[in-house]
A and B are shown apart, each in its own frame.
Chain A
Amino acid sequence: MSLLSLCKPAKFGLALLISCSALLAGASAQAESVLRRGIVGEPNAFDPAKASLWHEYYLMKDIFEGLVSYDSTGKIVPGVAESWSTSPDDTVYTFKLRPDAKWSDGTAVTAHDFVYSLRRELDPATAAMDPRLQFPIKNARAINKGEMPADQLGVRAIDDHNLEITLERPTPYYINLAAHGTALPVNRANIEKDGSKFARPGTLVSNGPFKLVEHVSNDHITLAKNEAYWDAKNVKLDKVIFTPLVDQAASVRRFEAREIDMITGFPAAELGRLRKAFGDEVRVSPSLTVEYYVFDTRQPPFDDIRLRRALSMVIDRDFLAKEIFYDSAKPSYSMMAPGIPAYGAPSKVDFADLSMIDREDMALELMKEAGYGPGGKPLDITIRYSTSATNEQAATAIASMWKEAFGFNVTLHNLDLASHYGYLQQGGEFQVARASRTPEYADAEATLSLDLSSQKTYNYGRYNNPEYDALLARSYTEADPSVRSATLHKAESLLMHDQVIMPLLNIGNLWMVASKVEGFHDNALNEHPSKYLSVSE
């Protein structure tokens, strides 16, 4: 408008008209396309080896690009590798790197960069946060334990553009791990020159669609389009500004004031109001996260499967989903959430489809056999959870369900997040504790392997069923994908039957995305790379 009105005097002279149209053309070329994204916290690092949190990986995957990456629908697509092949037994992956992949300093991204980066990730001296995800690579675990030098890692550059990754055993899901944040490449020259300060604006050399240009702690992180990126012509945004918004209510207000275009993680209690005010800009879709309670099998009477199953049966998960999560979550009766194509529908616990009334009758029967509840011994139960309003409401509801059904006296015990999980991970004893799981990669193994009896950190309840261990072991050597999937399903059914883990809800992904943002697609993996997003004015 202002430029057009400036142009009005142009009718007085052709020269002026020309200069005015030149000005207009210049202005439209300069109009920057900027996306303002909210993230749930300040990133702890820009070095991919030191990241481990979901919101950090959003940034990492915008700045760096792995061999393969995710598109906006959560599908694996070629990244630095334009194609790849696997050996018939799924133990060797060969990646063909695209010749035009470049670092932001203009040098070529080669197979040697990936050899360097993966060795660095697993080298104990790096003290990476999440190297576990690359343990399927040959010798990776031994290297990370310091038992072998890093050059023994099963990653080899055949030449500049061909990379071979050898795995410990058939790992049909390795391609998901190649897309993970822990497999992102870092620039060797950058690290050797700038040491621990390499990952800073102005210094960081990266190979993704964007590069890091500015960072003010707790205020904003600005990424600018990386012109050296091989697919730069398809990157529509000039800038992405990430704002860490720790307070959920504050992030909603920033969206309401139209200062931020996309936010995630707002209080579910606000869903009704926000839907009324913002309609389709509010997006709720199922995630892969399952929230559960775990029983400590070291503590009688929780070693009694009858008692555990009875306690699980009387929980009205529909009530929790509706009243506490405002329908943003779905009742869950399985360890896995739906949404992993290769796995299909998860295996639910056997009583999942019974009505609440039938379940309550069965539960009373079981509890009687176990010797507790009406007519039996009384029981005091303590539920432990990490401090949050939602966790407290859920625990209160569950406590009253147990009290109503069996007359048990339930005490709630909450600690801050670090204390709660620190306690569980250090093997602290408990009775019932709240936790949640999101598979690190789209494969059932990611979640189910955490309940192996050998697993001392993740297996809070010390679940120990040799049959379960054997099923998982069989899945590791099985080359046929459908047999492997069936084996994992059997394991899940067994885990659900034993109810050491009592799934409650499949949590939803909650987003608010301004209608001017294009290219956003809900997906269970919750992958939303800025590369595929654009802003219409």
Chain B
Amino acid sequence: MIFFVLRRMLSAVPTLFVVATLSFFLMRFAPGGPFSLERPLPPETMANLMRTYHLDEPLWLQYVYYIRNALVGDFGPSYVYKDSTVAELIGSGLPYSLQLGSMALLLGLLGGVTVGTIAALRQNSFIDFAVMSVSTIGITVPNFVVGPVLTLIFAIGLAWLPAGGWGDGSARYLLLPVITLALPQLAVYARLMRGSMIEALHADHVRTARAYGLPPRVVVVMHAMRGALLPVVSYMGPSAAALFTGSVVVETIYSVPGIGRYFVLGALNRDYTLVMGTVILIAVLVIVFNLLVDILYGLLDPRVRHD
């Protein structure tokens, strides 16, 4: 097991390197730069800025500098948020995104697994159809629609909850963004769970367990659930990475101070270092979660063992 983890971590190094290199050069192909504003800067100002941020040097040299600094954990200053470094920006926003993301993941996972299981057990019943139609809506209606609708109902219409902002970080402020973020995930988990549960209920070992006369609850939870969870677990890796790094839509709708917006705003503003920082963060999270998923797999499925 330890060797498996070590091997995976070692193989992550070249992956990260390729990701960093590709995104570094791809960014630079886009026209404009961090100082291209609607109101243009005169050439001398532009020259001073380019010199200060070493953007006037050959691209390969900038790349060498970037990699060298990144290796010692220096991801550079933000070209747009000039008082801050990339590490500071990500460091200050990440806790918000993590909190929001983990709650949404939990809600999506627990809700999805429960609902999916119920639907599978009552296959083709009214409940099943209801769950599946609602989850189809959950997947197809984008969160930039769900978010404003929830706000209009609960914040403006009923005035029960705030329309946005993080406030003191209490449940009042988190409820709507967590629900908006979790809904599509919940829907995906529910569908996955229903499908795999139906399959698992027809598996040989479950039929055997039934034949032994075990109570239905034990059959479902102890025997069917274990195998049925596998597809859910494999979806969890990318889903968690996406949720933890924030969603630009949800953060913008609810003014959540997370890092999701940095992916999009950073790219639009050509804030090269900020984009690089967030890309590397996502890559690391995806690698870590995929590793965790593989370990979980081993625990759930005796046929998968990491020796």
Contact = CB atoms under 8 A, between A and B. Distances in A.
Given A42-B81, A129-B45, A421-B38, A220 B93 contact: no
A14 B82 CA distance: 60
| A-side interface size class | 35 or more
A259 B49 contact: no
A219 B95 CA distance: 13
Contacts of A126: 48
Give the one of B45, B152, B257 with max A CB within 10 A: B45
A44 B81 contact: yes
B255 A254 contact: yes
A31 interface: no
A269 interface: no
B92 interface: yes
Interface string B118-156: 000000000000000000000000000000100110011
Interface in A102-127: 124-127
Interface stretch (A240-248, A336-344, A397-405, A497-505): A240-248
Interface string A241-280: 0011111011001101101000000000000000000000
Contacts of B165: 219-220, 243, 254, 259
Contact of B162 (A46, A216, A220, A257): A257
Contacts of A218: 93, 251, 255-258, 261
Interface SS of chain B: helix, strand, loop or mixed?
loop
Contacts of B254: 250
Contacts of A46: 83
A64 B66 CA distance: 36
Nearest to B43: A457
Give the one of A250, A386, A426, A440 with max B CB within 10 A: A250
A129 B92 contact: no
Contact of A243 (B32, B53, B255): B255
Interface string B222-240: 0000000000000000000
Interface stretch (A75-83, A318-326, A360-368, A412-420): A412-420
B163 to A, nearest CB: 4
A145 B83 contact: no
Interface in B260-274: 261, 265, 268-270
Given A124-B48, A253-B156, A417-B268, A457 B92 contact: no
Given A44-B81, A45-B82, A216-B257, A52 B37 contact: yes
Contact of A47 (B83, B93, B265): B83
B31 interface: yes
A251 to B, nearest CB: 9
Nearest to A197: B83
Contacts of A144: 44-45, 48
A128 interface: yes
Contacts of B48: 124-128, 144, 146
Interface in A22-64: 42, 44-47, 50, 52-53
Contact of A422 (B31, B53, B80, B92): B31
Interface residues of B, number: 53
Given A421-B36, A425-B40, A456-B43, A219 B166 contact: yes
B155 A253 contact: yes
A130 interface: yes
A246 B252 contact: yes
B156 A257 contact: yes
B121 to A, nearest CB: 40
Given A421-B38, A422-B36, A253 B163 contact: yes
Nearest to A250: B253
A532 interface: no
A246 B37 CA distance: 16
Contacts of B151: 253, 257
Contact of A457 (B41, B53, B166, B269): B41
Interface string A213-227: 000111110000000
A130 B40 CA distance: 10
Contacts of A129: 35, 41, 45, 49
B40 A421 contact: yes
A458 B40 contact: yes
A337 B89 CA distance: 39
Interface in B23-57: 30-33, 35-46, 48-49, 51-53
A131 interface: yes
A256 B261 CA distance: 24
A234 interface: no
Nearest to B253: A250
Contacts of A257: 151, 155-156, 159, 162-164
A244 B255 contact: yes
Given A47-B83, A128-B45, A247 B32 contact: no
Given A47-B82, A144-B44, A256-B156, A386 B38 contact: yes
A246 B248 CA distance: 11
Interface in B163-193: 163-166
22 contacts: A46-B83, A128-B48, A129-B35, A132-B42, A144-B44, A144-B45, A217-B257, A219-B257, A246-B265, A253-B148, A256-B156, A257-B151, A257-B162, A419-B30, A419-B36, A421-B40, A422-B32, A422-B33, A422-B36, A422-B270, A457-B40, A457-B41
Given A53-B37, A127-B52, A250-B148, 4 more contacts: A52-B39, A218-B258, A250-B253, A457-B43
